[in-house]
Chains A and B, each alone.
Chain A
Amino acid sequence: MDLFNRKGIKPMLIGEQRDIFDSPDFIYEIKFDGIRCIAYLDDAGTDLRNKRDKKLLPHVPELNKIHMQVKEKCILDGELFIFKNGVTDYYEIQRRVLKTDPFKIKLAGNQYPASFVAYDLIYYKDKMMNELELMDRKEILDSLILENDRISVSRYVEQNGIALYEIAKSKNLEGVVAKKKTGKYWFDKRTKEWIKCKVLASDDCVICGYVQKEKNMTSLVLGQYRGDELVYRGQVTLGVSLSDLLSHKPERIDSPLFAYLPRGNEDAVWLRPDLVCIVESMQTDKESFRQPVFRGIRDDKEPHECQIS
């Protein structure tokens, strides 16, 4: 069956995180702090899916007309985000996709409408585009979309990664993504053709437990996998809300699943490692995170995918 009808696309993934660099072989785009989104657009309508093929449009009904902004039937790869106070606000979009009440969704949409920014083209007219090189895909993409407040095309610069990174940093943006000009579109692959260069490093961790501390503070006990083994990765306190965690109804277990557990976790309540969260920290080469900040729970990633990089 045609990919357009079959859906279920697993998008290409960023394969590396490193310091910013200049290179004539790469283009540089702003990294949007949103949710990865595949848009299937044709005359019949708009269908938005996340990385796990879950339908997103019910959560962002304000985007139900974006198919009218493209000149041809197409599948776009991009980011679904909410723009708030001059930056893309991951927390807002994350909260939105967890909402199910259509009225609450509408109210949220009135206040902070979501937008889609397209950065790649997977399918155009009736053909797959994944074998084309990035710059050829970008060329078609640029002429395909009539931009408005709900849909836009990601801008990029050539060569000058460092300059874009510095400006992005000064605007409190997350960072930039470097993409190799000659790269093809590899479904479901982490390749070094896409590289993220972030102001703060971010990691996905599994929530393995929590510790209640003084002054109503809660720390989460973090883990990541090395192959099949769950490894202790420290604790995060900043940004953590216990009631938020408990609203996901984590399942308690009697003892931790780590082979090795350092001291300082004696009072932890252990949870089955089902929930994945995003932790931001200063760039470091060490085993544990430096000044980690909890950024929220994500439901588009399996715990097992949180591998130590």
Chain B
Amino acid sequence: MAAHKTAISVGLLYIPCSLQKAARDISVSFNQLCKDSHERVRYKKYCPGCDKEVRSEDIIKGYEFEKGQYVTITNEELEKIKTKKDKTIHVEQFAKMSDIDMIHFEKNYYISPDKGAEKAFELLRQAMLSQEEIAVGKTVIGTAEQLLILYPTEKSIIAKTLFYQEEIQEAPEVMPVEVEDAEFEMAKMLISSMTRKFDIAAYHDEYQARLREAIETKIKGQDIVNVDTSAPDNVIDLMEALTKSVELTQKGTA
């Protein structure tokens, strides 16, 4: 995973560092193939109005403000309003982790300080840890202005990106309901009976596991064709054979 170069700026502190995604997508992805030729299927962009393929230089951007009605916007116009490419994470305030509703959490990134910045980084981490505070900041990733928090862990600092308030949808309305004491006790009992220590390692995507297994089996069926049986299949045998034959030739000439 490539690291994203950035820096944390807090008041007068400036800490060059890099971000690395904490999670990755490991699900199996398929390619689309033509049924007859097994070639990869390619996309062609097509305009039904002109009845022809459109090249990328002939494509412009439009925004549909009403069904079938578009305003067009040029790349120059977009360029003008782009956020200045500022990769620095500007810390704007500190706060309590509990002030943030979990629903805003999006992605996690590991942060590691660049060479020479370890001390300032450690200072920030320890100070946040002892004050039990987290940093709230903004940075630019691509063209998006990203809101994020920095929170200290035992060893390092993790960045969590946040959804803005306007990105969060309103929760569906809930009608107030009365519950009986006995039912409430029963529900609580159900929960305690199913409570055990959580171990994330015990959970797997079982569909993905079966999918991978199926793929492996198919590949094994095809492998047999590719094996060269004439060559040594083991480096120890090869090394032994070579050194032995050197010894033999030496004896022969001595």
Contact = CB atoms under 8 A, between A and B. Distances in A.
Interface of A: 30, 32, 81, 83, 85-88, 100-103, 107, 110-111, 115, 117, 147, 149, 152, 154-157, 160, 163-164, 167-168, 171
B242 A168 contact: yes
Contact of A85 (B212, B228, B246): B228
A163 B236 contact: no
Interface residues of B, number: 28
Nearest to A81: B235
Given A103-B26, A167-B242, A157 B247 contact: yes
Interface string B185-200: 0000000000000000
B212 A155 contact: no
A115 B247 contact: no
Given A85-B228, A152-B239, A154-B239, 8 more contacts: A83-B238, A86-B233, A101-B26, A117-B235, A149-B234, A156-B243, A160-B246, A164-B243
B59 interface: no
B50 interface: no
B58 interface: no
Interface in B158-181: none
Interface string B227-254: 0101111111011101101110110000
Chain A contact residues: over half helix, strand or loop, or mixed? mixed
Contacts of A111: 219, 223
A147 B26 contact: no
Given A160-B246, A167-B246, A107 B216 contact: yes
5 contacts: A86-B231, A86-B238, A156-B243, A157-B246, A164-B246
A49 to B, nearest CB: 17
B243 A147 contact: no
Contacts of A117: 235
Contacts of B235: 32, 81, 83, 88, 115, 117, 152
The 3 closest A-B pairs by CB, nearest first: A86-B231, A155-B239, A163-B246
A154 B240 CA distance: 10
Contact of A107 (B219, B240, B250): B219
A149 B24 CA distance: 32
Nearest to B1: A100
Contact of A167 (B228, B232, B234, B245): B245
A167 B243 CA distance: 9
B212 A103 contact: yes
B28 interface: yes
Given A167-B245, A168-B242, A171-B242, A147 B231 contact: no
A149 B215 CA distance: 26
